[in-house]
Amino acid sequence: MEMLLSPANKELGIDALIALVKVAVIFNALLLVFSLMTYVERRVLAFMQFRRGPNRVGWFGILQPAADGIKLFFKEEVMPEGAHKLLFFAAPVVALITAYVALAVVPYGGPLVLPFYGQVSVFGRPLDIQIANLDVGVLFIFAITALGVYGIVFAGYASNNKYALIGGLRSSAQMFSYELALGMSWVSVIMAAGSFRLTDIVATTAAWGIWPWMILQSPAFIIYMIAACAEVNRTPFDLPESETELVAGFHTEYSSMKFALLQMAEYINMITVCALASNMFLGGWLSPLPFIPNSPLWFFAKMLFLLFVFIWLRATVPRFRYDQLMDFGWKRLIPIAALWVVLFSGMTAFFGEKKAPPSTVATSTSPAAGQVSR
Amino acid sequence: MILDVILFYGAAIVALASGLFVVSQRSPINSAFSLIVTMCSLAVMFAMLGSAFIAVLQVVVYAGAIMVLFLFVIMLLNAKQEEGERAGGIGRAAIALGIILAIQSVVVVWKGAANLPANYRETTSADVARGLFASPRFLYAFEATSILILSAMVGAIVVARKEKDTGK
């Protein structure tokens, strides 16, 4: 007991407590964003297609997600005959856990500074809205999304259904093809920042100025958005669940809460890619307008705008054919991404690098900061 | 530090148990699933040793890319459960090798060679980059490896091309 209450352990305990509270807050906030996303998506789609959309439950149908949730809770759980029981159960869990874990390293808005109050600190630690500020932040997200494929593969395989299997295979093939372009689109950003840490990337953006950064990185941003759209299986890349060919793809056999978990994983993945784009390409919490201060609200505004873009795409662009999808991924997107990497590194070599001022990078990469956030 | 101990033993038990499942399961898909779990718990070990970069690479390359290829093969060939046959000579050789490795690892731990050096610190991704590219010591080997991988890729494409494309 003496040993457990040593000062070092007390510090560790406080760190763990703060991390747990952050996890709880961010987890629930994302649940809220997810449920609202399902509502907003249906309303926006309806608006764009001259329909009304859900407008009966609550004020303008705002309680529709709650009604859907209750409905799914009380649906019957169906286990298809000949299903692989363990994997059938594990698939939605794997999908959801990987979706959530990826969001642990996303900074939701740097150090929390309130107007008229200043920097908020808890137990003498400056509070930032981020669970773990990892040195390998971007790579971590890459790794976790690579694991996220298993949720879909297992769902497809375990269902013992040919449509589900084909959906699962298509989905994983597609995710792997576009992951390459996705990873390449990050290279120019990482090269400019000289770090995988997401807060360093935002610091570099601040050093460049947000508008030059956004303009110069726009080719990478466009590649990223296309690849991300395919990565999260959204229209026009939603081949894995195309109703006309595969019933519902990998989640054909899923019902009740397992179905809800798969849907949730999909939306959380969408939030992840948008949050990442907001931090890497659009400057995160930095304000693009000179007379408005930097604020976490900017981060959320950018993220929500990108989510809206995804809905917008779904309403406007028709689905690819499968061979077109693969051609586009491998023969267009990846070469263009590689070309941009070469161009950008050439520009860096020619015009010289522009790093964040040493102070900001030093404070965020010092071993002490790494220790605390770990 | 108690957190580290819990994490270490948790990851170690999961790694060993799933490793055993890999070789003891009859159904190939179960084995593949167990192997993914093993890879991920190894990544936890690397992260605890203070090398987050290697941990992430472990997940990206092994748990991510390679295992998905395994799964593709299993799913597309629809590999069935292996029937009855007991593993023969290979099984015995594997057991012998396992025993030798176990003795070796016990010896290594006994002699204290597995202890962390005194000047140990966490390695960042910048350290890895500096180690690889700052001196020419590893640079040539690194570049040579990339050429090797490129030639393997070209070879794979040549093998996979259909006969009619090669011209007569």
Taking residues A46-66, report their average pLDDT.
83
A341 touches chain B (CB under 8 A): no
CA A79/CA A94 separation, integer angstroms:
18
What's the longest Cα–Cα distance across chain A?
A: 69
Q: Which two tokens stand for residue B53?
A: 């970069």
Q: Which residue of B has its CA nearest to A10?
A: B1
Q: Which two tokens stand for residue A311?
A: 């809905």
Confidence of residue B152 (pLDDT cuts 50, 70, 90): very high
Confidence of residue B99 (pLDDT cuts 50, 70, 90): very high
B37 touches chain A (CB under 8 A): no
As for the ipTM of the complex, it is: 0.78
Residue B151 has pLDDT above 90, yes or no: yes
pLDDT of residue B1: 63
Determine, for residues A153 and B68 on separate chains, whether the beta-carbon distance falls below 8 Å. yes
From chain B, the residues in CB contact with A157 under 8 A are 29, 71, 75
Taking residues B136-164, report their average pLDDT.
85
Cβ atoms of A182 and A173 closer than 8 Å: no
CA A52/CA A44 separation, integer angstroms:
9
- pLDDT above 70 covers a percentage of chain A that reads 88
pLDDT of residue A362: 39
Residue A307 has pLDDT above 70, yes or no: yes
Closest by Cα among A98, A130, A126, A119 to A29:
A130
Q: For A72-81, A93-102, A308-317, which range has the lowest pLDDT when averaged over its residues?
A: A72-81
A78 touches chain B (CB under 8 A): no
Taking residues B90-110, report their average pLDDT.
87
Residues 6+ apart with CB under 8 A from A206: A283, A286, A356, A360
Handedness of CA A105, A111, A115, A116 (dihedral sign): positive
pLDDT of residue B167: 52
From chain A, the residues in CB contact with B75 under 8 A are 153, 156-157, 165, 168-169
Backbone conformation region of residue A284, classed left if phi is above 0, alpha if psi is from -120 to 50, else beta? left
Taking residues B124-134, report their average pLDDT.
79
A147 touches chain B (CB under 8 A): yes
Confidence of residue B81 (pLDDT cuts 50, 70, 90): low
CA B4/CA B50 separation, integer angstroms:
11
- Residue A59 class from Cβ within 10 Å (0-12 exposed, 13-18 middle, 19+ buried)? exposed
Taking residues A235-245, report their average pLDDT.
72
Residues 6+ apart with CB under 8 A from A153: A168, A169, A171, A172, B68, B71, B75
Mean pLDDT of chain A: 80
pLDDT of residue B86: 62
Torsion of CA A350, A355, A357, A359, to 10 degrees: -140
Confidence of residue A370 (pLDDT cuts 50, 70, 90): very low
pLDDT of residue B14: 92
Determine, for residues A142 and B124 on separate chains, whether the beta-carbon distance falls below 8 Å. no
Mean pLDDT of chain B: 82
How many Cα atoms sit within 13 Å of A51 on the Cβ side?
A: 11
Taking residues A208-229, report their average pLDDT.
88
pTM, full prediction: 0.82
- Residue B48 class from Cβ within 10 Å (0-12 exposed, 13-18 middle, 19+ buried)? middle
| Cα-to-chain-centroid distance, residue B35 | 9
Q: Which two tokens stand for residue A1?
A: 């007991």
Confidence of residue B83 (pLDDT cuts 50, 70, 90): low
B25 touches chain A (CB under 8 A): no
CA A222/CA A209 separation, integer angstroms:
20
Distance to chain A for B59, nearest Cα, Å: 6
Q: For A181-190, A281-290, A330-339, which range has the lowest pLDDT when averaged over its residues?
A: A281-290
Q: Which residue in the set A147, A176, A370 is minimally distant from B59, CB to CB?
A: A147
Q: Which two tokens stand for residue A54?
A: 């859900």
**Tens digits of residue pLDDT in A160-216:** 787 888 888 888 788 888 888 888 898 888 888 888 888 888 888 888 888 888 888
One-letter amino acid for residue A93 of the chain: V
A150 touches chain B (CB under 8 A): yes
Closest by Cα among A77, A95, A289 to A175:
A95
